[in-house]
Amino acid sequence: MIDKLQNYVSGNWVLGSGLGTVLTDPILGSELVTVDSYNLDIPEAFEFARQRVKPELGSHSFMQRAEMLSQAVKVLQANRDKYFDIATKNSATVKTDSAIDIDGGIYTLNYYAKLSLTNKQYLLDGETTKIGKEYYAKHILTPIDGVALCINAFNFPSWGLWEKVAPAILSGVPVIVKPATVTAWLTHAMLKDVMDAKVLPAGAISLICGSPDGLIEQLRPNDVLSFTGSAETAIQIKSHPNINRSFIRCNLETDSINSALLLPDEFSNDVCLQALCTEVVREMTVKSGQKCTAIRRVLVPANRFEEVVSLIQSQLKKVNVGNPRHDSVTMGGLVSLKQKKYVLEGVDFLCSHARVLFDGRDHRYIDVPGANSSCLGPILLGLPEGKIALEEDAIHQTEVFGPVSTIIAYDNLIQAYQMIKRGQGSLVVSLYGDNIHQLQATALTLANCHGKVHIVSPHCVSTHTGHGNVMPQSIHGGPGRAGGGQELGAERALQFYHQKSVIQAHGTVLEWFQ
């Protein structure tokens, strides 16, 4: 009989009383664990966090809470092997892909544990400003007087957890975590190790697995909600009566049609062209393309279209897809058979609008028993005519969340800019070129519709951090259809969990706020 995962609410590990949902291995089909949150006392969980946990967390300084995070890092590092085993079974990821999630999450947690913050219980925002005769104003940030509900996506059960939890706990705000059901096992394992080690106050992080009713209904005006997932779900959240009635502060990260742009080759652009092709293949295959930052559109000058296609095709042929336990496999499966079905439906739709250049649906899989697995080879589509591509709504507005990308030819930069902006707001655009002035001008042109502009020039083809990698030092989020949210960005992440206020007083009073 497989284990049923417990939930962690009100400082205790408790089982749901329903049948729950069985999680299975996407490659082998074997049953793994059951998640269930039926009949949990959700209102009590929120009240416990507000009334019992918030005062205790808030009584510590930023530096003291940073030390708690440091201890949590040590616990997680001691259990890495267990987490990799779970990721292989539950997410069908090869070891290098699992590391992006697991080690990336631990690295992000450790980064926030080492931030040089004050030993006080508030943060300063800017300098003191004179507003009258011997009367001054100083802006400060104080932790919100509530809890943070964090709803995470299925693709990063570790990193998606810790990139939200780290700044919240550092700010002194208790967190209630609702992971995506299909990959909740890894989130559960990591949180259980940390909470059982008692390096954080009991209940500082609550964990609710499965799909309970009434989570959003429990939010109050001083609480916040951070969500990562589909635009469809985000719309439901934003329109929820309690979100509007209680004026809940929300941070949303949703769909994103990210782009990579090869600039016109005024000079020899071969190095940048090669770098672009390598990065496109990496973004298509890492985690089987199940990344919110993955490259979905590749824009290249019309006279380089065939060259780019040929180079990417040659690299895709070398990708070994199959069972992540096999040493020669470089790309595992999608997270579930259900997700594979969604991806194939999306591919069928896009294929009616673009040419198929590499068809991973015909891929031969390594060490995969039976035909019913979540494996799917990379699929490359193409639009070789810029004028047609500019008017093709589907390619610019449809995200297929898997190993799928489309190469698009453009006739001039203005046309390229127009096509990129047809994405209606994205997380990332990456620029490849060796003309410094052109790179700078393009970055400024596209910055207002992207959360990140990632530039690769000949100087950094081997040292840049990657189109799709999210670093805690930089903000993560994007405008428009990307959700309009913002996470990470060093200390900027803490602002979401704080209230900004201005203290106006005589200078002798404000001297205390230093």
The residues carrying an active-site annotation are 253, 292
Closest CA to 101 of 335, 280, 275, 321: 335
Which ranges in 250-384 belong to alpha helices (H)? 270-285, 305-316, 337-351
Neighbours of 318 (CB within 10 A): 8
Residue 487 pairs in a beta bridge with: 476
Which helix or strand (DSSP H or E) is residue 240 part of? Answer: none
Tokens at 160, concatenated: 């998606």
What spatial distance separates the first Cα and last Cα of the chain, rounded to whole Å?
59
**What is the spatial distance between Cα 512 and Cα 514, in angstroms, rounded to a whole number?**
6
Report the interhelical angle of 62-78 vs 80-91 (nearest 10°): 70
**Cα separation values, 120 from 52, 109, 184, 285, 514, Å:** 21, 21, 36, 45, 10
Residue 498 pairs in a beta bridge with: 143
Residue 461 pairs in a beta bridge with: none
Contact assessment for residue 474 and residue 488, using Cβ atoms and an 8 Å cutoff: yes
Which ranges in 124-172 belong to alpha helices (H)? 159-170
Closest CA to 163 of 247, 86, 54, 251: 251
Question: How big is the chain, counted in residues?
Answer: 514
Report the interhelical angle of 159-170 vs 95-113 (nearest 10°): 0
Closest CA to 389 of 278, 498, 297, 294: 297
**What is the spatial distance between Cα 40 and Cα 176, in angstroms, rounded to a whole number?**
13
Dihedral sign for Cα 282, 286, 288, 291, please. negative
Closest CA to 500 of 161, 171, 136, 247: 171
Closest CA to 228 of 250, 207, 253: 253
**What is the spatial distance between Cα 34 and Cα 6, in angstroms, rounded to a whole number?**
9
**What is the spatial distance between Cα 291 and Cα 100, in angstroms, rounded to a whole number?**
11
